[in-house]
A and B are shown apart, each in its own frame.
Chain A
Amino acid sequence: MADLTAFQSWIAACSESITTHADDLTELDRAIGDADHGSNMRRGLSACAALADQEDFSSIDAYLKKVGMTLVSTVGGASGPLYGTFFLRLAGPLAASEDVGSREFGQALRAGVEGIVARGKAEAGDKTMYDAFSPALEAFESAAGSGAGLAEALQAAADAAAQGRDATEPMVARKGRASYLGERSAGHQDPGATSATLLIEAAAKTLA
């Protein structure tokens, strides 16, 4: 079960992990995009990590909504609206929760991932963050469905996200700036799927 403090630890861990990997994300983006994914995500998640010290939050959903709005306001690019929408929608199913278990988090994760699809209109195989989020959601639901607790289901999600991320390497991008490269986008791991995996891995380490 995860309470507000655990969710705040998750965001802090996201910020730490993104900061650690910011240069790697920017390198991946240099190959098939415009070399700013790492710096944009670092700026956004640092702002989110600072929220816990700036404000007292009364609930998990209020906190996650603020995280979403902060990402929309600070990240820019396509990642801002996409990750912002993810956290805003994640908050919805957790409205009445003080302690989140695997069943509730599964509903929230589904809402968040559906939000990303609604905003970005990506499909599996487009070489986007959805290629990490989608298998993560599937793995989470499958694990939770067979009785796994939050920690175990999140670990399954993190493993599936990492596999999904690796699978983006040979793909030809069909969405976002990488799609302008056509066939030349193949052979490079997608930066969005990479940052998405970092966020889910951070969840597996903190939300338990």
Chain B
Amino acid sequence: MKKLLNDPADVVVEALAGMAAAHPDHLRVDLDHKLVLRAGAPVSGKVALVSGGGSGHEPLHGGFVGRGMLDAACAGEVFTSPVPDQILAATTAVDGGAGVLHIVKNYTGDVMNFEMAAEMAAESGVQVEAVVTDDDVAVQDSLYTAGRRGVGVTVLLEKIVGAAAEEGQDLAACADLARRVNAEGRSMGIALTSCTVPAAGKPTFELADDEMEIGIGIHGEPGRSTEKLAPAREVAARLVEPVVSDLSLERGESVIAFVNGMGGTPLLELYLMYGEVAKLLDDAGITVARSLVGNYITSLEMAGCSVTLLRADEEMVRLWDAPVDTPGLRWGG
């Protein structure tokens, strides 16, 4: 293992301390609870958005804390859900009286820990709604799995619902919008390399130089199949087709198209992939209303990418365009 670390056991706390040092105007951190909090939170009268999950997906979630996105992010150990105490501390720290929306990626541990925290928050009088993202078409949503994983759509949801909360929509409206975004978004990913959890010290799975892993998640877990590496245009088709088909996207519909890097693939390749994705969508008569390309929901240093398509209505596009000011996403006035 070759990583920039002091002690693997301290990686999360030391990274949070670094974030606080880098972005003093945007956020503050609570190192005891491993929280990233929006500077100035709680914002009185605004619905607060709290997300969180295992570390190793940066900039998700801590990098999306700030005006127009999240109010707090709870950082678990690498690839491990945060615990209820942390989530509860975040929830009470940012509640501005209008309630708190928990944004939870569909992983067994995350769901259980957020559920326990929501029960505790309700006991202390904070109104909590939870929305679970499950957009990964690589996993069949059936009785025989833990359900689809929450991946790329989580980034788009945090942006869009963050804008809705910022403009004063109430908790029920924010929760409805969040569920709508999740329902209209799907993702599919591939890996070119595995990744190494610092505490484990070696790669999570093996992949030969000429192989790719199709249908991966964001935790370095192996995917559904290992195949020979193919040219980018074929890889793009393997990602776009199942997403388009699962969403039943038809000619004339509009999407927000998101090509996400898993952490170890350069932008040069991500833009090349975006070009292939855009061509495929164009051929299918699907309009790209907005796009996003870059490393936003990563899996440590894994090479590879995912494609997320979100069937976007006018309100989603308007909220997408609204100003956002976080370390990870920043645009508008």
The one of A39, A74, A76, A174 in contact with B109, judged by C-beta atoms closer than 8 angstroms, is A76
A residues in contact (CB < 8 Å) with B: 26, 30, 33-36, 39-40, 72-82, 119-120, 172, 174-177, 179-182, 184
Q: Mark B138-171, 1 if CB is under 8 A from A, else 0.
A: 1110011110010000000000000000000000
A180–B220 Cα gap in the complex (Å)? 12
B109 touching A79 by the CB < 8 A rule? yes
Q: Does B83 contact A (CB under 8 A)?
A: yes
A182 and B112 in contact, given A30-B205, A34-B197 (Cβ under 8 angstroms): no
The answer to whether A174 and B113 touch (CB under 8 A), given A36-B200, A39-B199, is no
Contact A34 B83, beta carbon cutoff 8 Å = no
B interface vs A, CB < 8 Å? 54, 76-85, 107-109, 112-113, 116, 138-140, 143-146, 149, 197, 199-200, 204-205, 217, 219-222, 224
Knowing A75-B83, A76-B83, A77-B109, say if A180 contacts B217 (CB, 8 Å): yes
- 9 nearest CB pairs, A to B: A78-B109, A77-B109, A76-B80, A81-B112, A179-B145, A78-B108, A34-B219, A35-B200, A39-B199
Partner of B113 from A40, A81, A179, A180 at Cβ < 8 Å:
A81
Q: Are B149 and A180 in contact (CB under 8 A)?
A: yes
For residue B78, which residues in chain A have a CB less than 8 angstroms away from its CB? 36
Chain B residue, CB-CB nearest to A37: B80
Contact of B220 among A34, A77, A78, A80 (CB under 8 A): A34
| Pairwise interchain contact A76-B113, C-beta atoms closer than 8 A | yes
B84 touching A72 by the CB < 8 A rule? yes
A-B contact count (CB 8 A): 105
Out of B76, B82, B139, B204, name the residue touching A180 (CB < 8 Å).
B139
A36→B11 CA distance, assembly (Å): 15
Bound-complex Cα distance A80 to B220 (A):
20
Check B116 against A81 for contact (C-beta < 8 Å).
yes
* Given contacts A77-B80, A180-B146, A175 and B108 within 8 Å (CB-CB): yes
Complex: chain B residue closest to A74, CB-CB: B83
Q: Which residue of B lies closest to A75 (CB)?
A: B83
Residues in A with CB closer than 8 Å to B54 are 76
Chain B residues closer than 8 Å to A34, beta-carbon distance? 79, 197, 204, 219-221
Contact, CB under 8 Å: A80 / B109: yes
Q: By the criterion CB–CB under 8 Å, are A35 and B84 in contact?
A: no
Q: Please determine whether A175 and B146 come into contact, CB atoms closer than 8 angstroms.
A: yes
A26 and B200 form a contact (CB under 8 A) = yes
Are B77 and A181 in contact, CB atoms less than 8 angstroms apart?
Answer: no
B116–A36 CB distance below 8 A: no
Given contacts A120-B112, A184-B224, A30 and B82 within 8 Å (CB-CB) = no
14 contacts between A and B (CB under 8 A): A36-B200, A39-B200, A73-B85, A75-B83, A76-B77, A76-B82, A78-B112, A80-B109, A80-B112, A175-B108, A177-B219, A179-B145, A180-B146, A182-B224
Nearest chain-A residue to B226 (Cβ)?
A: A184
> Are A35 and B204 interface neighbours, CB within 8 A?
yes
**Shortest Cβ distance from residue B328 to the other chain A in the assembled complex, whole angstroms:** 23
Residue in A35, A40, A175 with the greatest tally of chain B CB atoms within 10 Å: A35
